[in-house]
Amino acid sequence: MSPQKRTRSKLASRVDNTKLPTIDKVSALPEVEKLVIEDETQGDEEISPGDAIYVVPPGFENEPRPLPPHVYWKMNVESIHQEGAKRWVIGTWYYNRSQLEAQLKEQKSKITLPPMGLGELISSDHQDVVDPQSIECLTAVDYFNDESPHSDIADAWYYRLSVELKGLAANLTGLNGHCICVQWYSPELDVQRFCYDCDKWFHIKCLTDPQPSEGETVPLQEKIANMPVVRGALGKVNDEWRVAGSGRKIQRVKIWKEAGVFPEDWAKELGDSFITYVKRTTFSFYACATKDCTRRI
């Protein structure tokens, strides 16, 4: 094992470094644009810088595949290098909450992590070299802008927080305060509404004066266009759109309405669970919590 830079030695490396060349050594090797991973079940996959990958953690090499998705380590590929016929990948890790908590504890950091979503990861600057043999397949880790009403998360994994672990003290960025209470948004614990006048999300528990909407017999498309922009812990009904909420779907319906044309399978495009939720729900609108805002949300 070669000596490491002081800043790196503080990080418990997540791959078995005894068998791997150092980052410095691999970075100095010529770069290649892509790497082909042979996958017996899904066919070959091409991996390029910017892709997210599943890495088999040490100790799981001989377990039957595929492993449960949460078991894989997730990495963002930064570069691919060649050493003769051999390829090496350099990338940065996405941590999950418990992995990051353990790392922060080890670094004696005072950072406390907020409650997070089920598929939520944290982007990090923790770099490692990975042997392509331990790469299982491609995956996707979407960036979630939790201040926008029109975010979309197409995949199971997402991140909104980034952590710097290389410095003297760990540093967490991306923690947004929402609502008049300026609190973090937890998709599993909170329900929030968006106000377009304030350009802000509000916790439903911080809103007052709910009033039921009028006109129960309006066509479904009209009902969606006028429904509240809502996200968070509504229960089973929004398993598939809990994190990012209804904003993107409402926006699509408004665009179709304006164009005067709906795709034939527009309801399918919005998702069965969403359509069922809208049909079943009598929406209440609250007074926006901002002092001089008159919008009902």
Q: Is 59 exposed, middle or buried (0-12, 13-18, 19+ CB in 10 A)?
A: exposed
233 binds Zn ion (CB under 5 A): no
In 10 A of CB 258, how many CB atoms? 9
Looking at 34-42, 94-102, 136-144, 194-202, which segment touches Zn ion (CB under 5 A)?
194-202
Residue 4 or 290: the one with the smaller Cβ distance to Zn ion is: 290
Q: Phi/psi of residue 278, each to 5°?
A: -65, -45
Residue 138 or 198: the one with the smaller Cβ distance to Zn ion is: 198
Give me the least distance between CB of 112 and Zn ion, in Å please: 19
Cβ–Cβ < 8 Å for 190, 116: no
275 binds Zn ion (CB under 5 A): no
Give me the least distance between CB of 185 and Zn ion, in Å please: 9
198 binds Zn ion (CB under 5 A): yes
Q: Whole-angstrom Cα distance, residue 273 to residue 43?
A: 32
Q: Phi/psi of residue 100, each to 5°?
A: -70, -40
Interface residues for Zn ion in 124-183 (CB under 5 A)?
179, 181
What is the enclosing helix (H) or strand (E) of 161? strand 157-164
Looking at 82-90, 115-123, 204-212, 218-226, which segment touches Zn ion (CB under 5 A)?
204-212
Residue 186 or 273: the one with the smaller Cβ distance to Zn ion is: 186
197 binds Zn ion (CB under 5 A): yes
Residue 53 or 230: the one with the smaller Cβ distance to Zn ion is: 230
Interface residues for Zn ion in 64-103 (CB under 5 A)?
none
> Which residues, 6+ apart, have CB-to-CB distance to 73 below 8 Å?
14, 54, 55, 56, 57, 93
Distance between the two ends of the chain, CA-based, in angstroms?
Answer: 59
Residue 143 or 196: the one with the smaller Cβ distance to Zn ion is: 196
Binding residues for Zn ion (CB under 5 A): 179, 181, 195, 197-198, 203, 206, 288, 290, 293, 295
